[in-house]
Chains A and B, each alone.
Chain A
């Protein structure tokens, strides 16, 4: 009798584990680009919280869901392959004029979404960066405003030439010994807008390496709490 009850107990305890998660895996893909309205190119950014955030609100279940956030890659595209099937509201935030949230986005299978925005600044290389005296890299860039909206035309405050030994380079990850940082007070920075502007790296770096350089600038404008940078594309420089 005793033995039987033990066996029963053991069997019951197995039963306790029988429930399993029968919900489908988050297997849908949501990808796309943040595109400059005028140039049709992607908006360059940095990795992480100071870059471009894609906030997703799954509205399939209720009005006030917990937000799910992820961030763009540094070239301004995004690709998330682990999304639950459902209906979402999408809110992109970055160094561009805030756009209306995109409602009722059905995600099932592969969903592509390109968002057109007006970046605060556009930063273009005038020509290829050059190596000077084997110890510095100089580059000519042109910084122009990306929007006609005067509400987002504050004064230019910072210009950077970021340098790093990995292709992940920006305000989030740079070699502070060599990267060049210029700050402007008041309206002084506005004078370089639209001009060909020459910047050179700081200090004397080690030759015989590959560096990745990138120019960036920001204006005195806070979007979603953060004073963000706009970026140029990344250039690879091999120092002999």
Chain B
């Protein structure tokens, strides 16, 4: 016991004695400001963390996940909110973006601000030019993040400095919302500064001067559209936090136009395999555009890279044709609608622009092979969706709704009335249909082609399930190689092209057309828009516009955008900024195309009279043009006012 007492006494005194000597050696186990900001590797590690948390809506973005970004398996691409696709897992109705991006945004903005405030203190080791590049990069990140905020919430609190509690009081951190206009102008200024400071070329995945300009054209086009088309307004603290005065529209469109114009001749459309008049080559060219992501592609301006196995996504797994699905994987999550497909050229259409699958007497047109129906389809479309019967990864994709067993060999009459949901086929005794993909598949002995599944290998059973729900499958961005390994979850690593030159051309065309429509005439804007559209169309293999007078409606520009940028997660924001979502999704059932094999005739026919397999209708609520500020952030900051209707 005495022994123990000694130990205690000595140890207490040894601590007390030691405490008198000064400890001025920095702890070597902690990385401090100086370590990060005074060396190239330190700065690059800081940068790459900011880049990796940028709010990029890529393969891993999901509108209904609470945190929106960086999901391992993004079952729903945004295409299932816009009418580009229907999704097997819902939504069953229109929806706004239900996840939130607020606190994460301010974290990233703070990181950018910390960099801009701290880096100059330690930057003596870098050349003046290098310092400029890094500072500009931080502004690019900040602008990108504010853009993600303002397009969701309207005016938000603006911070271009760091606030450090407790040297400022808690109340001083509770900033009110700025006007929406001020936030757009802030983004504009940041991107101007970024473009001035960034180099002409940059490392893979990092922003250069033209990434800043291209982003500016996107942002200013958004701002101009809000000024012109928005009619939801909210004033708080004497500021217009939702809505921009109409008078600013032309200014924003002009900024978008000028920024896009500066990218011209620095980047160009990808045409490595393209040949005039050769549909096959044009198709292959458009397919390759999404794979050729090394520095060599002249179209890619800002790219987010993935690399197996550290950084992966599940795009190939989620959207695979059912016949290529691997055990424990998934398939056909996002199925392209006929509404999207009909926008493209080269398909037989009736007077209303609807796909025509019957002859003039109302009988189905018959085809030996399913692809015969799509023989003249625009190459860009074929590179965007997989047609029934097209070859993908070296095999024919076998899409069918059922087998027609009526005795006709020609003049087959329509099998259901127009605009009925899929399951109405079930009542037709002349059809062989699989009831369920899972255990209810019909194997039918055909007269001419042997035994086959009524619904094909990747087609539609009555309960849909893993087969396509719409008659089409997704092709854009899908890995070309049939490597079974990439068809499991978290095995894909193709890069996401966040900004490509085609979008910049479309931004320019739209801004130019809006300026022309507003009577601006310092440049021949109509002609400029027309040239941009035709450049896009030529590469796509689509029908060209016949002179600038043929470009007489903003809808032409908008449609081109939908077609070119389909499945690139841009359409959702386009519908929002044009404020047309509520008109487009007004009791709307997305349409589908169902191929049938006629047994007696040994021919295929197509039925286009139906909407969504389960009769789901889309009704967009104008409320969703602005998102709700999350309740948890409202509670933290009493000065925030929520958007109208929330």
Is A108's CB within 8 Å of the partner chain B?
Answer: no
Given contacts A66-B635, A176-B615, A177-B615, contact A226 B621 (CB under 8 A): yes
* Interface residues as binary, A146-190 with B (CB distance below 8 Å gives 1, 0 otherwise): 000000000000101000000000010000110101010000000
Is B120's CB within 8 Å of the partner chain A?
Answer: no
**Contact call A171/B619, Cβ cutoff below 8 A:** yes
Is B638's CB within 8 Å of the partner chain A?
Answer: yes
Is A222's CB within 8 Å of the partner chain B?
Answer: yes
Is A127's CB within 8 Å of the partner chain B?
Answer: no
Most buried by B among A160, A203, A226: A226
**Contact call B621/A222, Cβ cutoff below 8 A:** no
Residues of B within 8 A of A24 (CB): none
* Interface residues as binary, B220-236 with A (CB distance below 8 Å gives 1, 0 otherwise): 00000000000110000
Task: Give Cα A163 to B582, complex, Å.
Answer: 22
Is A224's CB within 8 Å of the partner chain B?
Answer: yes
Residues of A within 8 A of B73 (CB): none
Given contacts A66-B635, A227-B582, contact A222 B587 (CB under 8 A): no
Chain B, 415-446, CB within 8 A of any chain A CB: 417, 420-421
Residues of A within 8 A of B621 (CB): 49-50, 226-227
Task: Give Cα A225 to B628, complex, Å.
Answer: 11
Task: Give Cα A149 to B644, complex, Å.
Answer: 21
**Contact call B586/A222, Cβ cutoff below 8 A:** no
Is A21's CB within 8 Å of the partner chain B?
Answer: no
**Contact call B586/A158, Cβ cutoff below 8 A:** yes
**Contact call B635/A176, Cβ cutoff below 8 A:** no
**Contact call B635/A225, Cβ cutoff below 8 A:** no
**Contact call A224/B644, Cβ cutoff below 8 A:** yes
Q: What is the distance, in angstroms, from A42's C-beta to the closest C-beta of chain B? A: 22
Task: Give Cα A181 to B619, complex, Å.
Answer: 12
**Contact call A225/B617, Cβ cutoff below 8 A:** no
Given contacts A64-B638, A158-B586, A183-B586, contact A226 B623 (CB under 8 A): yes
* Interface residues as binary, B401-424 with A (CB distance below 8 Å gives 1, 0 otherwise): 000000000000000010011000
Q: What is the distance, in angstroms, from B421's C-beta to the closest C-beta of chain A? A: 8
Residues of B within 8 A of A227 (CB): 582, 621-622
Is B646's CB within 8 Å of the partner chain A?
Answer: yes
**Contact call B231/A225, Cβ cutoff below 8 A:** no
Main secondary structure of the interface of A (DSSP, over half): loop
**Contact call B646/A176, Cβ cutoff below 8 A:** no
Q: What is the distance, in angstroms, from B493's C-beta to the closest C-beta of chain A? A: 41
Taking residues whose C-beta sits less than 8 angstroms from the other chain, chain B's interface range is 20 to 34
Residue of A66, A203, A225 near B645 (CB, 8 A) is A225
* Interface residues as binary, A201-223 with B (CB distance below 8 Å gives 1, 0 otherwise): 00100000000000000000010
**Contact call B646/A225, Cβ cutoff below 8 A:** yes
Q: What is the distance, in angstroms, from B225's C-beta to the closest C-beta of chain A? A: 17
Taking residues whose C-beta sits less than 8 angstroms from the other chain, chain A's interface range is 10 to 19
Give the number of A-B contacts (CB < 8 Å). Answer: 46
Chain A, 3-53, CB within 8 A of any chain B CB: 49-50
Chain A minimum-CB-distance residue to B230: A222
Task: Give Cα A224 to B621, complex, Å.
Answer: 12
**Contact call A225/B638, Cβ cutoff below 8 A:** no
Chain B, 272-286, CB within 8 A of any chain A CB: none
Given contacts A50-B621, A64-B638, contact A225 B644 (CB under 8 A): yes
Chain A minimum-CB-distance residue to B417: A203
Task: Give Cα A3 to B623, complex, Å.
Answer: 65
Q: What is the distance, in angstroms, from B635's C-beta to the closest C-beta of chain A? A: 7
Residues of A within 8 A of B634 (CB): 66
**Contact call B586/A226, Cβ cutoff below 8 A:** no
Residues of B within 8 A of A50 (CB): 621
Task: Give Cα A203 to B635, complex, Å.
Answer: 50
Is B626's CB within 8 Å of the partner chain A?
Answer: yes
Chain B minimum-CB-distance residue to A204: B417
Is B456's CB within 8 Å of the partner chain A?
Answer: no
**Contact call B635/A224, Cβ cutoff below 8 A:** no
Q: What is the distance, in angstroms, from B621's C-beta to the closest C-beta of chain A? A: 6
Task: Give Cα A227 to B92, complex, Å.
Answer: 21
Given contacts A64-B638, A176-B617, contact A225 B622 (CB under 8 A): yes
Residues of A within 8 A of B336 (CB): none
Residues of B within 8 A of A93 (CB): 645
Task: Give Cα A158 to B622, complex, Å.
Answer: 14
Residues of A within 8 A of B232 (CB): 222, 225
**Contact call A225/B623, Cβ cutoff below 8 A:** yes
Chain A minimum-CB-distance residue to B233: A222
Residues of B within 8 A of A226 (CB): 621-623, 645
Is B643's CB within 8 Å of the partner chain A?
Answer: yes
**Contact call B644/A176, Cβ cutoff below 8 A:** no
Residue of B587, B623, B626 near A176 (CB, 8 A) is B587
Residues of B within 8 A of A158 (CB): 586
Residues of B within 8 A of A160 (CB): 587
Q: What is the distance, in angstroms, from B97's C-beta to the closest C-beta of chain A? A: 15
Q: Could you name 20 residue pairs across A and B whose Cβ atoms are closer than 8 Å?
A: A49-B623, A49-B645, A66-B635, A93-B645, A171-B619, A176-B587, A176-B615, A176-B617, A177-B615, A181-B586, A181-B587, A222-B231, A222-B622, A224-B644, A225-B622, A225-B625, A226-B621, A226-B622, A226-B623, A227-B622
